[in-house]
Chain A
Amino acid sequence: MLGREGMDLEVKEFLEKVTAASGVSGFEGTVASLIREAWAPLADEIRTDTMGSLIARRAARADGGLAPRPAGAGPAAADGPAGTQVAGEGWREAGGRGPLRVMMAAHMDEIGLMVSKIEEGGFLRFTTVGGFDRRVLPAQEVLVHGREDLPGVIGVKPPHLLPREEAEKPYKMEDMYIDVGLEETRVRDLVRVGDPITVGYGCRSLQGELVAGKGMDDRAGVATLHACLQELARLQHPHDVFLVATVQEEVGLKGAVTSAYGIAPDVGVAVDVEFAEQPGLPEDLTVELDKGPVIAVGPNIHPYVFSVLEKVAKEEGIPHQVRVVPGRSGTDAWAIQVTREGIPTGLIGIPLRYMHTSVEVASVADIKRAGRLLARFVMALDAEALACWRWEA
């Protein structure tokens, strides 16, 4: 068993590794294999589903209090309508006793670019995969994943040659191209339309606990699941836990839609990034960096899940912040909640500055705190309480 220090180091190392790896939405294979390598020793079962999401299962430990369900046994297939009940009794059939199936999801894909055309001279035109602000693209370092990985740069016309009024406007997508510095014939040999492109830098340490790099959204969440898994490995946890590194979140929460359907969990929690304060953003839209993970509240969040998360954070003395998400959370939680007949869902946020740039800044301390919070959440979840939980009148 690792000591406290060892654990800490490892979360940061894990984060450095996975943020450096490429994993543009739809092309997550490289980062997935790194995560698989790290999680496999601690999981009872690990698999990749049809869409490519990585699912690590850690079964309930028998001496955690309850007998584990046989592997793979989900809730009864929901074929017909669920039974009706006597007036006023509320829902008491769903969970019942026994270990719950708890799904925790963080997406491993990152926003990126894709080759859309090879121009004369070997310059590459590109399209975006996920929501890039085109203003952050000029002069970025990129890696084009062709037959080989080719380093390149996003070129634009030099300011000297631009009319003044043009220089006052942001570059348009059609004015930008990628230059990999090779002859056209060589480019055509190595690159094809549809090849993914990653933008930006790997992880670098800033002062204190802060780190910067591309893909913190949502590798910070994946690192949180990693920290949680390490913590769970030391615990006799009473529930089955499914840690899911989802794919294609940035293009429409797709991995969460299908993996949640497949797992059919009793409870779901998504871990994603949350806007941290920075100049120019309204205070009530942001949280503080390095002051603990965010527990979200709003229509996307089941009140019972929220209450357990908050209670655990308070009892364990884990610094945390509460933020309201008034509607669409834009995270995997949004998809998980409406899977099948509906799943009680929670959302944990890792504060992050400069979201969707290639220099996203997060705090390793927040990640570790969130990991511990999730593990303790699993310990505190009560199947009976969830089954008897009644929506307030």
Chain B
Amino acid sequence: MKEETRELIRNLTEAFGPSGQEEQVRELIASLMRPHVDGVRTDALGNLICTRGARRVGTAGGPAATAGRPGAAGTATAEAGAGGGKKVMLAAHMDEIGIIVTHIDDKGFLRFGTIGGVMPHRCLGQRVVFANGTVGVFGHEKLDDPKDLKFERMFVDIGASSRAEAEEKVRIGDAAAFTRPLERAGNRLVAKAMDDRIGCAVLVEVARRLGTSPHEVYFVFTVQEEVGLRGARTAAFGLAPDVAIAVDITLTGDTPKAETMEVSLGKGAAIKVKDASLICHPGLRRSLEETARAHGIAYQLEILERGGTDAGAMQLTREGVPAGVISVPCRYAHTPSEMVDEGDVEACIELLVKALEGPLEW
């Protein structure tokens, strides 16, 4: 992996963006994408929509056009897509799991609710950061049994000694995310928020590397995936794509006494067959497999028993959209130390580039 790509992954994973408060990571991605696309805009929920090679204007028709803020939408050139190109929506979610403040007590301790799949035991010893840079650590009430560790008995300490002092930095409704720098471990990368900044990194790299493509490509960096695939749903309605592909992480079955699962770290891009949110379009899935085989890109087939992706929401848009997923295998998901393999990441980028450069037919 090139150092440039690694730096990209570092910057993206270290950025702040729990669900609903994705402003900072959105700004970062927008600045990364602008040089490589024809238009960038943000819609009503905060999804970042980057268009490349769009040949139609006022794409979605009806209220979709009014829902997004006026921006650079539809300003794309007719450079590509003269013959038989498709309108392709790519989605990677930019939000991450985190916590949200629900109460500040007299002594300045914060009580909180969770955003997405955060587990109590995974929070012990961790640090969180708020949008304004305030750092806090997790603590808990005296417990008779470690099993009693529940969120309602936990709090975050931001070093304030009174409610007033705490309220100078934090308000009810403010969200915080885990904070951890990216580390290299052999050919692997460890960071918080790999889920799904690694998907965002894949999309940014694809935008950088993509040559001529017959397709009108929408790179969509979605919001609120971790709380129920919300951003992808409205973005897909607005865009009404012909094909939708999500890029997200998946779990692996290759660690000691793991759950039975065929995916391993380091064995290439995972092409999803099914997860709890969808059964991927078999034709699209086969087309991705053929692309991988034709270009000698390592891939593995994935069935994820629990968890879903943006593709589940995109598939059910309007009259239905053929939807698939390219997954980056990832160990220790939803912890501050999510691990991916550099080769797998490269395989995902390569696969998506080749797929977009081809006819994407089945």
Direct contact of A and B (CB under 8 A): yes
The chain A residues found within 8 Å of chain B, CB to CB, are 25-27, 49-51, 77-80, 114, 116-117, 125, 127, 129, 174, 192-194, 248, 251, 254, 257-259, 261-262
Q: Enumerate chain A residues within 8 angstroms of B302, measured Cβ to Cβ.
A: 193
Distance between B51 CB and nearest chain A CB, rounded to angstroms:
22
For B280, the closest partner residue in chain A by CB is A26
CA gap between A37 and B117 in the complex, in Å: 47
Distance between A52 CB and nearest chain B CB, rounded to angstroms:
9
Residue of B260, B279, B315, B318 ringed by the most chain A CB atoms within 10 A: B279
CA gap between A49 and B316 in the complex, in Å: 12
The reply to whether B262 and A193 contact each other, CB–CB distance below 8 Å, is yes
Please give 8 more A-B residue pairs, beta carbons under 8 A apart, in addition to A50-B321, A114-B274.
A51-B320, A77-B62, A79-B61, A79-B62, A117-B260, A174-B260, A194-B285, A258-B319
CA gap between A26 and B312 in the complex, in Å: 13
The reply to whether A261 and B279 contact each other, CB–CB distance below 8 Å, is no
Distance between B60 CB and nearest chain A CB, rounded to angstroms:
11
CA gap between A80 and B320 in the complex, in Å: 22
B148 is an interface residue with CB less than 8 A from chain A: no
Which size class do B's interface residues fall under?
A: 20 to 34
- Chain A to chain B contacts (Cβ below 8 Å), 27 pairs: A26-B274, A26-B279, A27-B279, A49-B319, A50-B320, A50-B321, A50-B322, A51-B320, A79-B63, A114-B303, A116-B260, A116-B303, A117-B260, A127-B305, A129-B279, A193-B273, A193-B301, A193-B302, A194-B274, A194-B285, A194-B303, A254-B315, A257-B316, A258-B318, A259-B320, A261-B319, A262-B319
The reply to whether B262 and A117 contact each other, CB–CB distance below 8 Å, is yes
B282 is an interface residue with CB less than 8 A from chain A: yes
Q: Enumerate chain A residues within 8 angstroms of B253, measured Cβ to Cβ.
A: 117
For A24, the closest partner residue in chain B by CB is B279
Instruction: Pick the residue among B63, B279, B301, B315 that contacts A25 (CB under 8 A).
Output: B279
CA gap between A15 and B253 in the complex, in Å: 41
Instruction: Pick the residue among B274, B316, B321 that contacts A129 (CB under 8 A).
Output: B274
Q: Which residues 59-92 in B have Cβ within 8 Å of A in the complex? A: 61-63
Instruction: Pick the residue among A51, A116, A259, A261 that contacts B262 (CB under 8 A).
Output: A116
Using A114-B274, A117-B260 as known contacts, say yes or no to A248 and B279 having CB atoms under 8 A apart: yes
For A174, the closest partner residue in chain B by CB is B260
Residue of A27, A117, A129 ringed by the most chain B CB atoms within 10 A: A117
B261 is an interface residue with CB less than 8 A from chain A: yes
The reply to whether B62 and A116 contact each other, CB–CB distance below 8 Å, is no
CA gap between A254 and B315 in the complex, in Å: 9
Q: Enumerate chain B residues within 8 angstroms of A248, measured Cβ to Cβ.
A: 279
CA gap between A78 and B316 in the complex, in Å: 18
Q: Enumerate chain B residues within 8 angstroms of A49, measured Cβ to Cβ.
A: 319-320
For A194, the closest partner residue in chain B by CB is B273
The reply to whether A125 and B273 contact each other, CB–CB distance below 8 Å, is no
Q: Enumerate chain A residues within 8 angstroms of B262, measured Cβ to Cβ.
A: 116-117, 193
Distance between B271 CB and nearest chain A CB, rounded to angstroms:
9
Q: Enumerate chain B residues within 8 angstroms of A50, measured Cβ to Cβ.
A: 319-322
CA gap between A335 and B63 in the complex, in Å: 22
Q: Enumerate chain B residues within 8 angstroms of A117, measured Cβ to Cβ.
A: 253, 260-262
Distance between B326 CB and nearest chain A CB, rounded to angstroms:
15
Distance between A245 CB and nearest chain B CB, rounded to angstroms:
15
Using A50-B319, A129-B274, A248-B279 as known contacts, say yes or no to A80 and B261 having CB atoms under 8 A apart: no
The reply to whether A251 and B279 contact each other, CB–CB distance below 8 Å, is yes
Closest 9 CB pairs of A and B: A26-B279, A258-B320, A194-B273, A262-B319, A50-B320, A51-B320, A79-B62, A193-B301, A116-B303
Instruction: Pick the residue among A78, A127, A194, A261 that contacts B301 (CB under 8 A).
Output: A194
Q: Enumerate chain B residues within 8 angstroms of A258, measured Cβ to Cβ.
A: 316, 318-320
For A248, the closest partner residue in chain B by CB is B279
CA gap between A259 and B262 in the complex, in Å: 34
Distance between A173 CB and nearest chain B CB, rounded to angstroms:
9
The reply to whether A114 and B318 contact each other, CB–CB distance below 8 Å, is no
Q: Enumerate chain B residues within 8 angstroms of A27, measured Cβ to Cβ.
A: 279, 282
Q: Enumerate chain A residues within 8 angstroms of B278, measured Cβ to Cβ.
A: 254
Q: Enumerate chain B residues within 8 angstroms of A116, measured Cβ to Cβ.
A: 260-262, 303, 305
The reply to whether A26 and B282 contact each other, CB–CB distance below 8 Å, is yes
The reply to whether A192 and B301 contact each other, CB–CB distance below 8 Å, is yes
CA gap between A51 and B150 in the complex, in Å: 42
Distance between B196 CB and nearest chain A CB, rounded to angstroms:
22
Q: Enumerate chain B residues within 8 angstroms of A125, measured Cβ to Cβ.
A: 260
Distance between B244 CB and nearest chain A CB, rounded to angstroms:
11
Q: Enumerate chain B residues within 8 angstroms of A127, measured Cβ to Cβ.
A: 274, 303, 305
Q: Enumerate chain A residues within 8 angstroms of B282, measured Cβ to Cβ.
A: 26-27
Distance between B245 CB and nearest chain A CB, rounded to angstroms:
15
Distance between B333 CB and nearest chain A CB, rounded to angstroms:
18
Q: Enumerate chain A residues within 8 angstroms of B303, measured Cβ to Cβ.
A: 114, 116, 127, 193-194
Distance between A190 CB and nearest chain B CB, rounded to angstroms:
15
Q: Enumerate chain A residues within 8 angstroms of B285, measured Cβ to Cβ.
A: 194
